Amino acid sequence: MKPTTIITAPERIPLRRFLIASTAAITLALQSSPSLAGEAYPTAKVNTTGLAVTDDTVTVGQLHSATGTMAISETGSIQAEQLAIDQINASGGVLGRKIKVIVEDGASDWPTFAEKAKKLLVNDKVASVFGCWTSASRKAVLPVFEKENGMLYYPTFYEGLEQSKNVIYTGQEATQQILAGLDWIAKEKKAKSFYLIGSDYIWPRTSSKIARKHIENVLKGTVVGEEYYALGHTQFGSLINKIKLKKPDVIYAIIVGGSNVSFYKQLKAAGITSDKWTVLTISVTEDEVLGIGGENLAGFYSSMKYFQSLDNPNNKAFVEAFKSKYGAKSVIGDVTQAGYLGPWLWKLAVEKAGSFDIDKIAAASPGIEFTQAPEGYVKVHPNHHLWSKLRIGQWGVEGQAKVLYESGLIEPDPFPKGYQ
């Protein structure tokens, strides 16, 4: 205020005094502009627990597998999280602070994940961590996050049966991904008999359990076969013979990783194609299709909350930004999009809480709505999972899905009654 009065009446003030006064005014202005955030949100007030927050930066961690067998799956999440952080920084940061990232490599090895999580929380005092992909890596770091009171944004769709103050699950838990999809296929294809196939670990097993209960108790159908194969298994010949014998209406596949490629190629070679058979999977996203090849999947269905082909303005902007940063050939799968939600949901939680303190953002998270989400709209539930929709996509030869069905918003229910 004062400087303006001085400057509006320059003719009455000698030059020397004018110069001194205006220099003082400029200095004042220079001092006040960077501390704008500092004044509204002084560091001492927004960070009472010693996190890595300064007057103009806040440090977060990113913990995925950049190397090892999981790197191929986790790269998409790494990229999407970095894109979100860049966008947040470009739009002014969080509480006026730019986000700095410390990247750690979990190396597809669970003890390494635990070690790096501890390093990020104890040594680097990061305000939040975006990371993990497999259930095993999340299980390995969970005790660390609970003990050291950190905050993890976990992007993968997973089996549920978990809920923690220190984790926000931005992917779907099993019932969100499974039930509506089964309802749709039962109605659309008049399906009564199902063949469940999965990789042998907790997510496919839990998902099959939920699917079986829903098929038997709600849809009044039958499960004609349920089988599991070790991760990395590549010989599906005998399974395909059994499928041909049982002739299920729907083949429900939860095969992950490299096994996917041999599974779908062998299905096609054995004549199990979409003209006579229905295959519904919850484990194939655009990323997997890149490896499997669209021609081996053409006409099969995936049930996911997100497909790259979603037609809405948020998603168009997201896909364009992603491709301009990572190349026109890059594809975006369900987990990549969920990874993108992490930094944004964290920013919203911090702003709602007016603080970086973990306890405060954990408490502030429920009820947060993110309307700019590429998947359309999400809202954080008190159980730290997201309200989200389910979509059924049908794969085309070019590797993109045509969205045939979209459910309403589904409430997350990590401990589903009647499905355990």
Partner 1 sequence: MKAIYNRLFGGTTGVVQLGILAAILMIVLPLSLDIFRLNLVGKYLTYAFVALGLVLLWGKAGVLSLGQGVFFGLGGYCMAMFLKLEASDPISTKIQSTPGIPDFMDWNQITQLPAFWMPFKSLPFTLLAVVVVPSIVAFVLGVAMFKRRVGGVYFAIITQALALILSLAIDGNQGYTGGRNGITDLRTLLGWDIRSSHAQYLLYFTTCGLLVLAIVLSQWMLSGKLGKMLLAMRDREDRVRFSGYDVSMFKVFTFCFAAALSGVGGALFVLQVGFISPSLVGIVPSIEMVIFAAVGGRVSLLGAVYGTLLVNTGKSLFSENFPQLWLFAMGGLFIAVVVLFPNGLAGVVELIRKKVSPFLKNLRTSSTLPTSGSTPLPSPDKP
Applying CB under 8 A, the residues found at the interface with partner 1 are 66-67, 103-105, 107, 109-112, 114-116, 118-119, 122-123, 135-136, 139-140, 142-143, 147, 159, 161, 200-202, 205-206, 209, 228, 230-231, 415, 420
Q: Quote the tokens at residue 10.
A: 């320059």
Q: How far is the CB of 354 from partner 1 (least distance, A)?
A: 30
Q: Which is nearer to partner 1, 220 or 417 (CB)?
A: 417
Under 8 Å CB-to-CB from 176, ≥6 apart: which residues?
305, 385, 388, 390, 410, 412, 413
Q: CA 156 to CA 177: how far, in whole Å? A: 12
Bridge partners for 64 per DSSP:
105
Q: How far is the CB of 209 from partner 1 (least distance, A)?
A: 7
Q: How far is the CB of 122 from partner 1 (least distance, A)?
A: 5
- From 105, 243, 182, 229, select the one nearest 392 (Cα to Cα): 182
Q: How far is the CB of 108 from partner 1 (least distance, A)?
A: 9
268 CB neighbour count, 10 Å cutoff: 18
Amino acid 315 reads N
- From 218, 112, 234, 140, select the one nearest 175 (Cα to Cα): 218
- From 77, 163, 166, 169, select the one nearest 128 (Cα to Cα): 166
Q: Is 32 helix (H, G, I), strand (E, B) or coil?
A: helix
Q: CA 278 to CA 250: how far, in whole Å? A: 5
Q: How far is the CB of 420 from partner 1 (least distance, A)?
A: 6
Q: Which is nearer to partner 1, 324 or 420 (CB)?
A: 420
Q: CA 58 to CA 159: how far, in whole Å? A: 32
* Cβ proximity of 412 and 385 under 8 Å: yes
Q: Quote the tokens at residue 373.
A: 């989400």
Q: What is the 3-state secondary structure (H, E, C) of 64-124?
A: ECCCCCCHHHHHHHHHHHHHHHHHHHHCCCECCEEEEEEEEECCCCHHHHHHHHHHHHHHC
Q: Where does residue 418 fall: left (phi above 0), alpha (psi -120 to 50 degrees), or beta otherwise? A: left
Q: How far is the CB of 404 from partner 1 (least distance, A)?
A: 32
The per-residue DSSP string of 227-253 comes to: EEE-TT----HHHHHHHHHH--SEEEE
Q: Which is nearer to partner 1, 159 or 286 (CB)?
A: 159
Q: How far is the CB of 51 from partner 1 (least distance, A)?
A: 16
Q: How far is the CB of 313 from partner 1 (least distance, A)?
A: 34
Q: CA 225 to CA 249: how far, in whole Å? A: 12
Q: Which is nearer to partner 1, 118 or 325 (CB)?
A: 118
Q: How far is the CB of 61 from partner 1 (least distance, A)?
A: 11
